[in-house]
Structure 1
Amino acid sequence: MKLSRQTTLRSQATVTGVGVHSGLPVSLTIGPAPVDAGYIFIRSGLDGADREVRATAGAVIATEFATVLGDREGPLVSTAEHALAALRGMGVDNAIIEIDGPEVPIMDGSAAAFVAAVDQAGIATQSAARRFIQVLKPVQVAIGDCSGEFRPFAGGFRAEVEIDFANPLIGRQSYCFDLSAERFRREISRARTFGCMNDVARLWSAGFALGASFENSVVFDETRLLNAEGLRFRDECVRHKVLDVVGDLALAGLPIIGAYRSIRGGHKLNHAALTALLSDRSAWRVVESETARRSRTVAEAGSATVGGLIAPAYGPDVS
């Protein structure tokens, strides 16, 4: 367990782009939030007052192609996972995320622009100890031939992701990733969403993916990669699935101490596994950073004496 205090952003930073399905412009601003706030989306551009939703597993209302958050009145924001991955991956615990459209901008299909926004805003340490969800026993789920499992792991958070696509240019790939801000930035944040051209064509004909392009997606046909610049990583596809795992599991509300293994998974599986974990109160506990708690106690004693619609995964949410 990393011994530390909670963090937020020092200031605001804004990214602008287009929604992957609508193709319409959208602006997103990240900024500071109080201790224990987690991640809160504030949606503007609606009739009447702004609406907000805390990014938790209970706020997920769809997972077919992306993580969609909403409330009783309906969906508020989709494609939330890339922004959430950047915040969790860079070690930000509490943030306000203001957005003026129904989709987080797709940017280049990765989390790189959101990591740059975190860098621009800066990270501030808060007074309260960081809290974690610690996995105490294995929890497994399966959807068809896809499976996800949480298990105890003392070294922080580990993602073990395996994909297996019929397309020979993707095929079977696996990646093991121990989360740290440095590794997230270097290994995961620039990995782009991907899909196959026949799936893209079906989505276009159904009125989806109107904002998708070779500038924000890696696209394959049956024999070749269609992006002229090539891949950013030899195994970029599985790395992007790791990115999605980090973003989807940020909906736990707290950072996780444990390992998560995903085989042929996607947003639907990640959400099902997280829901199964959180539903079993014998499978986890909340723990607090001892170092931060001691330092906070000392500080308090001293003061007394002195006076937190859809990414272009072009096809069903499985590998």
Structure 2
Amino acid sequence: MDSLLREPPPSSITAETRNSAAFPLRGKPALAVQKTLRQPISASGTGLHTGQSIRLILQPAPAGHGIVFQRTDLADAAPLPARYDTVVETRLSTVLGESARPENRIATIEHLMAAFHGCGIDNACVLVDGPEIPVFDGSAADFVFLLDCAGTVAQGAPRRMIEVLKPVRVEQGDAFVELLPASGGRLHLSLSIDFAARAIGHQSYTLDLGARAFREQLARSRTFTLRAEIEALHKAGLARGGSLDNAVVVDDDQVLNPGGLRCPDEFIRHKVMDAVGDLYLAGGPLTAHFRGHRSGHGLNNQVLHKLFADPSAWAYASDRQAIVAAA
């Protein structure tokens, strides 16, 4: 939890209007209403794949606005709503883009989206002056810190809770993900992974998503890669900003980071955190059980496409059903 509470260097994170303390989510919320940021906040960091220094600004937005990304370095760039149907690539990260203008794209949005999801933020404008979101330490912890510093404000309008009504499943080889009906008004996740690298191996994790669970169990888990894959990524012009400061690097049975892992199952926790971010591209929080094995951004996105392609598979929950349990 230390990294959630620390003050990042002033050159990295600044608030346009900074309060003296963060705003942790406490207590039991009443009716699930939409929330936005109390004030704007900005941050600068390195892009994982481009290696560029990128400035990020998070701004409040009105009720019903949703999460919308905007490139500020491209003239007349169209806003990119954070929705499953604006995703244009999922190979190494989740990438939003404009089909009519291929250069208008923003990559590596999943950790920020996970923070929005985990902290219950429905509406925000995300301004970014480059082609990807800064990676920071490779987790969602610094994004949670930013949201805490900005604070949140309730907006009165009910949240657009999306209830899964019947099973939806997508597969690729031995990998699969599925969305199943669930009660309780929140998202339940069960994932497993299986890597040949002995430092990772087979891991599984189950979580009922709530603000406290997200912060304590998922937010600090970092992205990871295999040492053998780094050279190929560099040849493809990717991972130029990657380092042991923002990713866990594995060489068979060894973790190469000097500080080791933050927890023994950090790998699967990060995969669950990625899924939390990818699933928030539904346009609202899901009431569902999400199950998967060896899933990634591609399958996470495909299952949302399949869900919304079948009008009988989902519905917006009523206000009564949208009462949120204590985090």
- TM-score with structure 2 length normalisation? 0.87
The whole-number CA distance in structure 2 between the counterparts of 1:252 and 1:206 is: 31
Do residues 151 (structure 1) and 194 (structure 2) align? no
Which residue matches 1:313?
A: none
Larger RCO, structure (CA 8 Å, separation 6 or more): 1
Do residues 23 (structure 1) and 47 (structure 2) align? no
Q: How is 1:7-86 mapped onto 2 (pairs within 5 angstroms)?
A: 7-46=35-74, 48-71=75-98, 72-74=100-102, 75-86=104-115
Cα deviation digits, residues 138-166 of structure 1 (max 9, x gap): 11110111101100111211111110111
Output the amino acid matched with 2:297: H
The number of residue pairs the alignment matches comes to: 292
The whole-number CA distance in structure 2 between the counterparts of 1:287 and 1:134 is: 6
* TM superposition shift of 1:291: 8.8
Change (3 A) 1:168 1:10: same
Output the amino acid matched with 1:289: D
* TM superposition shift of 1:223: 3.0
Do residues 179 (structure 1) and 206 (structure 2) align? no
Runs of at least 4 residues of structure 1 off by over 4 A?
none
* TM superposition shift of 1:236: 0.2
Any unmatched runs of 5+ in structure 1? 294-319
Do the aligned partners of 2:161 and 2:322 also contact (CA within 8 Å) in 1?
no
Cα deviation digits, residues 262-290 of structure 1 (max 9, x gap): 10110001001111111111110012323
- Higher mean alpha-carbon deviation, 53-62 vs 73-82, is at 73-82
Which residue matches 1:270?
A: 300
* TM superposition shift of 1:206: 2.4
Do the aligned partners of 1:44 and 1:100 also contact (CA within 8 Å) in 2?
yes
Question: Which of the residues 126, 142, 148 maps onto 1:97?
Answer: 126
Any unmatched runs of 5+ in structure 2? 1-28
Question: Which of the residues 208, 213, 220 maps onto 2:250?
Answer: 220
Do residues 252 (structure 1) and 282 (structure 2) align? yes
Which residue matches 1:164?
A: 194
SS at match of 2:161: strand
Which residue matches 1:128?
A: 157
Change (3 A) 1:231 1:2: farther
Do the aligned partners of 1:29 and 1:98 also contact (CA within 8 Å) in 2?
yes
Output the amino acid matched with 2:144: V
* TM superposition shift of 1:205: 2.4
The whole-number CA distance in structure 2 between the counterparts of 1:268 and 1:240 is: 16
The whole-number CA distance in structure 2 between the counterparts of 1:211 and 1:279 is: 37
The whole-number CA distance in structure 2 between the counterparts of 1:67 and 1:13 is: 23
Output the amino acid matched with 2:283: G
Do residues 238 (structure 1) and 268 (structure 2) align? yes
Q: How is 1:280-295 mapped onto 2 (pairs within 5 angstroms)?
A: 280-290=310-320
Which residue matches 1:138?
A: 167
Cα deviation digits, residues 82-132 of structure 1 (max 9, x gap): 111000111111111111100100110001110001001001000211121
Output the amino acid matched with 1:81: E
Output the amino acid matched with 1:263: H
The whole-number CA distance in structure 2 between the counterparts of 1:193 and 1:2 is: 34
Do the aligned partners of 1:137 and 1:283 also contact (CA within 8 Å) in 2?
yes
* TM superposition shift of 1:230: 0.7
Change (3 A) 1:73 1:231: same
Do the aligned partners of 1:163 and 1:263 also contact (CA within 8 Å) in 2?
yes
Which residue matches 2:143?
A: 114
SS at match of 1:26: strand
* TM superposition shift of 1:202: 1.3
Do residues 201 (structure 1) and 228 (structure 2) align? no
SS at match of 2:189: strand
- TM-score with structure 1 length normalisation? 0.89
Do the aligned partners of 2:67 and 2:126 also contact (CA within 8 Å) in 1?
yes
Cα deviation digits, residues 184-203 of structure 1 (max 9, x gap): 01100010000110101211
Output the amino acid matched with 2:306: A
Do the aligned partners of 1:15 and 1:114 also contact (CA within 8 Å) in 2?
no
The whole-number CA distance in structure 1 between the counterparts of 2:208 and 2:101 is: 38
